[in-house]
Amino acid sequence: MSRGPDVREARLGLTVGVCAFVIWGLAPVYFKWLGHVPADEIMGHRVVWSVFFLGLVLLIRKRRGLWAHVRVNRRTAVLLAVTGGLIALNWLIFIHAVNTDRVLATSLGYFINPLMSVVLGLVVFRERLVPVQVIAVVLAALGAGYLTYRQGHLPWISLSLASTFALYGLIRKLLDVGPMVGLFWETLIVSPFAVVWMLTLQHRQQLSFSLAEPSTALLLIGTGLLTVAPLLLFAAGVRRLPLSTMGLLQYLAPSLTFVLAVFIYGEPFTMDHAVTFGAVWLALILFFWAGWHRPRLD
């Protein structure tokens, strides 16, 4: 009987963790609804409304001692400015890709991202890989190289999404700050640029946000909730589940995005895509198999 609460906590953690990645995986549906709004304006609203909702959540959770909870030192603030720029760029590329019917490219990018993080770990932290993991990384690189060769140009959306998020994760790994507080500062630091840009659009009479179009206005405000809600669910899941479980769950999001791109939005999935995705999927399987059996392989 004593294991009952632990089982309930694990089930709750799995439920909220799955919900977080499902929201991230289905996010293209939401941004498709905003397809008539330029990507740069959507990104600006996402930053501003994320600050608002994150601040509201932090205020509710920490009514007393809020400043002590969110305060960071100068070094951390500088690094959060860098990560804020990276996550804003990642969001902008993602929204642009969705609204130009390249959802499949975003799926590939987020499948590649963990392997790119591995490469950064090798370079920066001198992490060591077993031979099978090295083969996995090379296999993923060959897959991306094959698509580049066949298409005649770099799959820049996929590689940009993977690299910006990998760099973002690398720097955040160096910081002793929680996900909620970190994202609050990141969006807060970037928000003046977003506000200035939207004021510029307003001056040019190009701003889509208007009370005359309440549905569009509500959707733009909702981009903040779309950012904060899965983050809250993810944080709740991390507290209740092993990191290995959360690591496996992360592939739910690009898998759902893949299904959306191919089966819902009808984006072309060619033999070239099949070879590239196959190489990346096989690389991920090899990499995590080697990690699971690493004591025997060392």
pLDDT at 229 over 50: yes
Give the pLDDT score at 2.
45
- DSSP symbol at 83: H
Predicted confidence (pLDDT) per residue in 160-193, tens digit: 999 999 999 889 888 888 888 999 999 999 999 9
| Cβ count near 142 (within 10 Å) | 15
- Cα–Cα dist 291/272, whole Å: 29
Answer with the residue of higher pLDDT: 262 or 7. 262
Range from 86-90, 123-127, 138-142, 164-168 carrying the lowest mean pLDDT: 123-127
Phi/psi at 129 (5° precision): -110, 150
pLDDT at 129 over 90: no
| Cβ count near 229 (within 10 Å) | 16
Look at residues 148, 145, 179 and name the one whose alpha carbon lies nearest to residue 57.
179
Task: Map residue 184 onto helix, strand or coil.
Answer: helix
Half-sphere exposure of 159 (CA within 13 A, CB side): 12
- Cα–Cα dist 225/256, whole Å: 20
Answer with the residue of higher pLDDT: 204 or 1. 204
Averaged pLDDT for residues 77-88: 95
Give me 60's structure tokens: 């509710």
Q: How many helices (H) and strands (E) does the chain have?
A: 13, 0
Read off the pTM: 0.90
pLDDT at 127 over 70: yes
Look at residues 149, 182, 131 and name the one whose alpha carbon lies nearest to residue 291.
131
Do residues 181 and 69 touch, judged by C-beta distance below 8 A? yes
Written as one string, the DSSP assignment of 103-162 is HHHHHHHHHHHHHHHHHHHHHHH-----HHHHHHHHHHHHHHHHHHHHHTS--HHHHHHH
Give the pLDDT score at 22.
95
Give the pLDDT score at 65.
81
Averaged pLDDT for residues 261-279: 95
Q: Residue with structure tokens 């975003």?
A: 106
Give me 119's structure tokens: 């490469």
Do residues 58 and 181 touch, judged by C-beta distance below 8 A? yes
Q: Compute the mean pLDDT over every residue in the chain, rounded to the nearest whole number.
A: 90
Confidence band, pLDDT 50/70/90 cuts, at residue 204:
very high
Long-range contacts of 290-295 (CB under 8 A, 24+ apart): 290/129, 290/130, 290/132, 290/133, 290/136, 291/133, 294/130
Predicted confidence (pLDDT) per residue in 22-61, tens digit: 999 999 999 999 999 999 999 999 999 999 999 999 998 8
Give the pLDDT score at 7.
79
